[in-house]
Amino acid sequence: MIHHHFFPLLAALALLAVRSQSQSPSVSPADRAQLEGSSYTHLPIGRANARMQTLHADLPGGTWIHGHAYRRDAVQVRGLVDGLQCELQVTLSLAPNLPTQASTTFANNVGPNPVTVLPRQFVTLPPTNRPGLDPAPAFELQIPYTTPFQLPPQGGTLCVDVEIFGNSSAAGSNRNLSIYLDAHENYSDGRAEQPGFRHGLGCPPPGGSSPAYATMTFWRHVAQTQIDVALRNGVAETGGNLARAWLALGGSPTATPWPTNTACTLWGSTDVWFVLPGAPDAQGAYDGSLTGLPLLPPGYRLWAQAGSAHLGTGALAFADGTTFVTPPPGPVPIRTCRIANSNDRTAATGTVAYAVPVMEFF
């Protein structure tokens, strides 16, 4: 059941808490400068033999480019990701195609007078650790060029052509590596997907040994928002349809022990609670969505937490906390794409996708 008093509450909170949306013109996709991407990728620098082009129609005209950089994904993996030495070459040009017209043939995306801004050489990339909050505060994986490149005053579609010749790391030489670069997928209908950043620790249900946890995704659609919830290790449905899953949302973080079970913590201000549709299964797992939420201004951080309860026994389980920032609508038409062959840098063709690494041009 949706509590409709939540709508004016969110609107009032948003007026107080919306942060400045000044976007760095050097980040592409441009709306990801201060927002976590919706996905991750190991391409291109995590591969041992690959070619990847990215097309960018969202950089301002006249920009001088002295290098590009990737940032660590903040959501998918916790802990340290090892550094490496990557042998690569980078060529820039003005693509004749818009990102939505990208060709699977690499040569067709390269414009006239391409510039090899970084001849083939090894670049040392540092290890990265999971940040304390999304997104990663810096683009730590930097690839400086030996030759700068300037976009024309009228702008255009930049083609960044990266060829990977090999690598060296703690795993050995010329291995495919999982380095978890932040990436973002664009959709042609303008919807925007925002993953949740998990923090804190959940508590198990009575008799359980594993803490409950949840993964969440926030969706901005044309006329509404939606939150997808996947809850695990919660209260099980034992018969009688008495188990329920819930979601709490708030505008600020907390660390408040639950009065009747101090092992369980509220990780957000829980300004409003929702009963989620459907019910957990016999293993205490729940998968569902909270739909029909109002559109919120971009840049408002929500603190969320899921859990489950049994209406007959009173058993409770709290998941860990999740936070996300409300995104703007996705760009229409799509202004970035990638063309990649993940195993053969000499191949003439690759696969076109609208999931691209979040890149900073400096």
Taking only the tens place, the pLDDT of each residue in 4-20 is: 444 444 443 343 333 33
How far from chain centre, in Å, is Cα 6? Answer: 27
Answer yes or no: do 196 and 291 share one domain.
yes
Q: Label the pairing between strands 158-169 and 84-94.
A: antiparallel
Q: How far apart are CA 316 and CA 280, in angstroms?
A: 12
**Main-chain dihedrals φ then ψ at residue 288, nearest 5 degrees:** -170, -175
Answer yes or no: do 137 and 203 share one domain.
no
Q: Label the pairing between strands 181-185 and 355-357.
A: antiparallel
Answer yes or no: do 240 and 166 share one domain.
no
The mean pLDDT values, 10 residues at a time, for the chain of 362 residues are 43 37 68 97 98 98 97 96 98 97 98 98 98 97 98 97 98 97 97 98 96 98 97 95 97 96 96 96 97 94 98 96 97 98 98 98 97
What is the helix, strand, coil percentage profile of the chain, to 5? 5, 45, 45
**Main-chain dihedrals φ then ψ at residue 29, nearest 5 degrees:** -60, 140
Q: How far apart are CA 210 and CA 224, in angstroms?
A: 35
Range of the domain at 286: 192-325
Residue 183 inside a domain? The answer is: yes
Closest CA to 249 of 3, 74, 16: 3
Q: How far apart are CA 362 and CA 360, in angstroms?
A: 6
Answer yes or no: do 213 and 315 share one domain.
yes
Does residue 231 contact residue 308 with C-beta atoms inside 8 Å? Answer: yes
How many structural domains compose the chain? 2
Mention every residue, 6+ apart, whose C-beta is less than 8 A from residue 264: 202, 203, 257, 258, 316, 317, 318
Answer yes or no: do 168 and 108 share one domain.
yes
- Report in angstroms the alpha-carbon separations of 293 from 120, 221, 288, 290: 51, 10, 14, 8
Q: How far apart are CA 216 and CA 3, in angstroms?
A: 20
Residue 27 inside a domain? The answer is: no
Answer yes or no: do 126 and 158 share one domain.
yes
Answer yes or no: do 86 and 226 share one domain.
no
Residue 41 inside a domain? The answer is: yes
Residue 15 inside a domain? The answer is: no
The CATH number of residue 317's host domain is 2.60.40
Answer yes or no: do 53 and 183 share one domain.
yes
Answer yes or no: do 154 and 226 share one domain.
no
Residue 11 inside a domain? The answer is: no
**Main-chain dihedrals φ then ψ at residue 269, nearest 5 degrees:** -75, -5
N-to-C CA span, the chain: 48
Residue 10 inside a domain? The answer is: no
Residue 18 inside a domain? The answer is: no
Cα R_g (the chain), whole angstroms = 23
Residue 53 inside a domain? The answer is: yes
Answer yes or no: do 41 and 184 share one domain.
yes
Answer yes or no: do 71 and 142 share one domain.
yes
Q: In this predicted structure, what is the pLDDT of residue 290?
A: 97
Answer yes or no: do 178 and 314 share one domain.
no
Q: How far apart are CA 30 and CA 35, in angstroms?
A: 10
